[in-house]
Chains A and B, each alone.
Chain A
Amino acid sequence: MDSTAAYAIELRDIVKRFPGVVANDGVNLSVRSGTIHAIVGENGAGKSTLMKTLYGAHQPDEGMILVNGEPQRFRSPRDAIALGIGMVFQHFMLARNFTVWENIVLGQEPRRRGRLDISGAKRSLDELGQRYGLDVRPDDLIADLGVGEKQRCEILKVLYRGAKILILDEPTAVLVPQEVDELFASLRELVAAGSTVIFISHKLDEVLRHADAITVIRAGKTVGEISDPHSVTARDLAEMMVGSQLPTPETRTSTVTTHRALEVRELTVAPEPGSIKDRVAKVSFEVHRGEILGIAGVEGNGQSELVAAIMGLEDSVGTVLVDGLDINRLSTMQRKARGIGYIPEDRQQNGLALELPLWENAALGHQHSEPYAKGRWMNRSGARQRTREIVRRFDVRTPSIDVPAFALSGGNQQKLVVGREMMSEPKVLLASHPTRGVDVGAQAVIWDILRDARSAGLATLLISADLEELIGLSDRLLVMLRGQIVAELDPATVTPAMLGSYMTGVH
């Protein structure tokens, strides 16, 4: 391998067609060796197709791939790995019931005298981890790890296979600010040691802060190559991505009323087996009509359990009132009927059945109510009619309502989920990470929906890892740490950095 080549990776005029669509239509990318290179673009712009091309998952129809200055053809990911290209996926590919070291060596186990060399594996892991500041304990079970640690495992897995060029797909989507800084510190170490890093991101601030160069992709084409990130602003980048001028954020007037739509009193969720710490510990708050109450917190501090308890999906002690009426003894279905809308934190896991067509997904959670059902029978024409309305009103981009949900991009799936909940006109909305992993366009649509619903009187409990989103949308902010509410903050005065320190308990 010629490590002195100026460009680790070059793509020239890549074209990739699928039946009925040109996903990449002239993509150019030049990644200098030893740099951190960001690729930005809306969902559906052709980023994932590009990644697959880079990783050898498919071959482009036209164009050239150069690795370290040499033209290459990848017949499979194996060829890409052989050339030192490693991919870190957004959705972790780790076996939950295996330990860290087992996951990392899986498929490339070191052997000594025909047997698995366990101590050797752990030793080389420790070395790798220390060299790049990727802190992991080899004997931990994956199931016990937080998101940041899992991600470090994924990176180590790739490094262990000898990758010199790392591709990371939205690596920060699931991390809190402190973890993001740690990640990029590690990536810096890697680059300093001669590796090259390519990452995809939606978070433009972060791209500007950490990338040495940026490539912007829109509608399958490269529309911008920025070699000096200091010369552009997040706004410039966003405009390049969507291809037009952005409106300025409007100032909002408060629509908060004194009517308590949702009241939670001393809600407690018992500890997990083997632990003694309540997952949610005597949490009390209220959300008024026309108010968005934001809950900030590092993931795993009880926010998911709090929402699950309010939905009746998790056993809890305490009182939950909707419009003053106790719903403690009601089933999830009855709670929904009382006017709680629910945007689950993971749309693919909890919000959709990916193989079902859109119109059946629209009925999910509302399968007992009009227009989706008539008594014990489903109302197909009613459901389809309602789905068409959701698609139209909430800008779900789809060829038809009969395509399976997996065919849609993340943003469009999420718009369907949000639209479905909004169409049933809830009094209270539990929105968990409503814009996680969606593109800027869909994010803006979803924010607008939430704002409009707020002015129309909806009480929203917003849980998010996106601190800008929390601060931008919320009327009040609570911080959750280790199952407890530890602070109430005013979004008008708080900064993401301050919020981060409350979230980690430093404050």
Chain B
Amino acid sequence: MDRSRLLASVKRIQLVASRLVENLLAGDYRSVFRGPGMEFDEVREYVEGDDARLIDWNVSSRMDAPYTKTFREERELTLALVVDVSASLFSGPSHRTRREVVVELFALLSLAAIVNNDRVGAVLFSDRIESWVAPRKGKRHALRLITDLVGVEPRGVGSDLALALRTTGEALKRRGVVVVLSDFKTSGYLADLTLMGRRHDVIAIRVTDPVDRAFPVTGLIRLDDPETRRTVAAAGYSARFRASYEAYREQQRKTWLAECRKRNIGTLDVSTDQDPAAQLIRYFEHRKAQ
């Protein structure tokens, strides 16, 4: 993609995303990611009605009066976006719509964070870390992130989610929000996901296509997997083949869902035939209600 087309594309995405964020998403975002994170503020004299559990006995004994610790809610969040740019989502023109959905979700989330004066960082990964941008504030930074993602030409084809999670975990010093954008057609990431879930607030967004649920009725068609480079002859006309494919996909989805729930990780399925913004808003409202 040449530079002018890239910029135009980013501009368009940014415009659409900004409007959506300002009108709908910003409030939800804040209310969902308020989090239990409390930051120690100061110690002051105990007054009637304060929580007795919060009395700081060390200070109290020295001062001969009851002192209590005060906390303020951590208002400033760090959002880390872990984005799968592997071939199954990003390579070739064949996966354009999957890619579009990822970009749109990315733009929405990063702009929502900026509007709320949060810091945003991004890890783009394939079978390696394609790029890592440390969390910072500001609109210019967000635009840079979006430009990076839109213009990325992944060097790797696979998707090593475990590596990406490990890198993100090492880079985030304080507790933050981690959003994983991937199709989760990868393996071996569960241990790192557990670690990540203990330290951070994690949301897994799975980007899929209708053909990831059911195979269309077609003649024999040779498919090659862009990541594993395996080829199979798909007998789309065979009911047995389609049933087997559908069962496989459904089982994949269920496993993913169960593993995330077990680790208390939020899950969102976004299909390319759905509006990503609407899905995101619905998800936030659902989280808020809980």
Chains A and B are bound partners: no
Residue numbers of A with Cβ under 8 A of B are none
